[in-house]
C-alpha cells in the first residue's frame, strides 16, 4: 500500500510539472509560493536529514523522532512543502485538470500522513504528545 501511495504521489507531481506553464516565471505569487516551498523543504531536510526519513510512510528502523525546526510548527512539513511547490503549476496553467491533480495529491498525502502517524505512534511513544 505504501509503495502505491508513493508511486501515485510522484506520478501526480510529474503530471503537475508538465507541460510547464508559460506564465509560471512571470507570476510573482507563483514565484513566492515556489520560494516558500523550497525554503520549507530545505529547512525540513536540515533537521530531518537524509538517512533518517523514509519516502514511504513507514519510519526507518533505528530512525529518530524529529520535533525541532519546522516540526515544532507543522506536523508534516515535507508534505506541506510539496503542496506549496506544486500549487504554482496549477494556478498558472491553462489546463483545468491540474486542479484535480493537485487535489488528488493533497488526498494522497493526507492518506500517507495518516498511515505515517499511526506507525510513528507505534515506534515513538513521545509522538502521541507532539502536536504542533
What contacts 110, CB < 8 A, 6 or more positions away? none
pTM: 0.91
**Quick one: cell of 22?**
508559460
Look up cell 491553462; give the residue: 94
What is the model's pLDDT at position 127?
82
pLDDT in tens, 64-120: 999 999 999 999 999 999 999 999 999 999 999 999 999 999 999 999 999 999 999
User: What pLDDT is attached to residue 27?
Assistant: 95
Query: What mean pLDDT is predicted for residues 2-24?
Result: 95
Q: Three-state DSSP class for 131? A: coil
The pLDDT tens digits of the residues spanning 29-50 come to 999 999 999 999 999 999 999 8
Q: Is residue 128 very low, low, confident or very high in pLDDT (cuts 50, 70, 90)?
A: confident
Could you tell me the three cell numbers for 82?
Answer: 510539496
**Rounded CA separation 8/80 (Å):** 17
Q: What is the CA radius of gyration of the chain?
A: 16
8 Å CB contact between 38 and 77: no
Amino acid at each position: 500500500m505504501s509503495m502505491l501511495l508513493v508511486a501515485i504521489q510522484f506520478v501526480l507531481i510529474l503530471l503537475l510539472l508538465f507541460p510547464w506553464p508559460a506564465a509560471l516565471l512571470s507570476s510573482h505569487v507563483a514565484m513566492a509560493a515556489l520560494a516558500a516551498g523550497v525554503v520549507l523543504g530545505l529547512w525540513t531536510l536540515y533537521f530531518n536529514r537524509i538517512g533518517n526519513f523514509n519516502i514511504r510512510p513507514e519510519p526507518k528502523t533505528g530512525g529518530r523522532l524529529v520535533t525541532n525546526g519546522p516540526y515544532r510548527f507543522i506536523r508534516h512539513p515535507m508534505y506541506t512543502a510539496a503542496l506549496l511547490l506544486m500549487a504554482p503549476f496549477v494556478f498558472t496553467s491553462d489546463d483545468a485538470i491540474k486542479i484535480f491533480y493537485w487535489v488528488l495529491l493533497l488526498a494522497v498525502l493526507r492518506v500517507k500522513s495518516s498511515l505515517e502517524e499511526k506507525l510513528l505512534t507505534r515506534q515513538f511513544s513521545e509522538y502521541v504528545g507532539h502536536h504542533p
